[in-house]
C-alpha cells in the first residue's frame, strides 16, 4: 500500500547546494523548471517541497550479506518506488543495518531519481487524445530483465506483473501492455527495468544534458 511523502520542515532544512538555497528562498518554485533546465538535484527536500501529493511504496526489503576481511557483514536492502500518479516516477535502493534506515535511504534515492513520463494515447485502437496511456512504446532494462511498454486502448488496464504494475500505477499510466524478458522473479531488476522504460519515454525529447546551477 502506498504511503504519502511528507513535506520537509523548512525551519530545520539547511540547504547544502545552490539549487536548494534557491528553492527554499522561492527563487525556483517549479520542479518542471528544474527538469527543463537540466539542473542536478542532490537534496531530496527539493523534490518534497516542489512536488505535492507524492506517494511511495516499499516493493522489497531483504537481508543481504557481504564477506569482508573482518568477517561477514549483514545489512538490509530496501527497494522503493515514488510517484505522484500524474506523470512523475522515481525508484531507488538503500542499504542499512536497520530496516527503517534502509527504507529512508531508498526513498531519498528514489526522490533524487524522479523523472517525467511521456503520457498520451499512442494506441491505434483508441485515439481518444487523453493521457491515459503512453505516447509511444518504450524499452528499459536492468540486470537480466528487459521490459517493453506499449500503449493500450482506454479500459485495458495495466497488463503487467505485480511488481511492474505498482511502478506503472504510481507514474499515472492507466492502460498499457508490459512485455518482460529475463529473471522477472527478482523484484529489484523487474522494478528498475520498468522504471527505466518509463524514464526512456522522455529520454531524447525532454531531458537536456544535466548541469550544475551557476
Cell of 12: 530545520
d(CA 94, CA 81): 12
Blockwise average pLDDT, block size 10, the chain, 214 residues: 89 94 93 92 96 95 83 90 96 96 97 95 87 93 94 94 96 96 94 96 55 53
Q: What is the pLDDT of residue 125?
A: 86
- Residue 98 has φ and ψ, to the nearest 5°, of -115, 145
Contacts of 142 (CB under 8 A, 6+ apart): 188, 189, 190, 192, 193, 195, 196
Residue with cell 518542471: 32
d(CA 105, CA 109): 6
- Residue 25 has φ and ψ, to the nearest 5°, of -85, 5
Element housing 151 (H / E)? strand 145-151
Q: What is the pLDDT of residue 213?
A: 54
Cell of 35: 527538469
d(CA 165, CA 196): 14
- Residue 161 burial (CB < 10 Å; 0-12/13-18/19+)? middle
Nearest to 190 by CA among 162, 169, 211: 162
Amino acid at each position: 500500500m502506498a504511503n504519502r511523502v511528507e513535506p520537509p520542515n523548512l525551519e530545520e532544512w539547511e540547504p547544502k547546494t545552490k539549487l536548494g538555497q534557491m528553492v527554499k528562498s522561492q527563487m525556483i518554485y517549479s520542479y518542471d523548471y528544474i527538469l527543463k533546465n537540466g539542473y542536478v538535484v542532490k537534496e531530496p527536500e527539493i523534490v518534497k517541497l516542489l512536488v505535492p501529493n507524492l506517494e511511495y511504496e516499499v516493493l522489497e526489503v531483504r537481508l543481504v550479506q557481504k564477506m569482508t576481511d573482518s568477517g561477514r557483514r549483514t545489512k538490509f536492502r530496501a527497494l522503493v518506488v515514488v510517484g505522484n500518479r500524474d506523470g512523475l516516477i522515481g525508484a531507488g535502493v538503500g542499504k542499512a543495518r536497520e530496516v527503517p534506515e534502509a527504507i529512508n535511504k531508498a526513498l531519498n534515492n528514489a526522490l533524487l531519481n524522479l523523472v517525467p513520463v511521456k503520457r498520451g494515447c499512442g494506441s491505434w485502437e483508441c485515439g481518444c487524445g487523453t493521457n491515459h496511456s503512453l505516447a509511444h512504446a518504450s524499452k528499459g532494462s536492468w540486470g537480466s530483465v528487459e521490459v517493453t511498454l506499449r500503449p493500450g486502448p482506454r479500459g485495458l488496464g495495466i497488463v503487467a506483473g505485480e511488481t511492474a504494475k505498482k511502478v506503472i500505477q504510481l507514474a499515472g499510466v492507466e492502460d498499457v501492455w508490459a512485455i518482460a524478458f529475463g529473471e522477472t522473479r527478482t523484484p529489484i531488476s523487474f522494478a528498475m527495468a520498468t522504471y527505466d522504460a518509463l524514464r526512456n519515454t522522455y529520454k531524447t525529447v525532454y531531458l537536456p544534458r544535466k548541469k550544475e546551477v551557476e
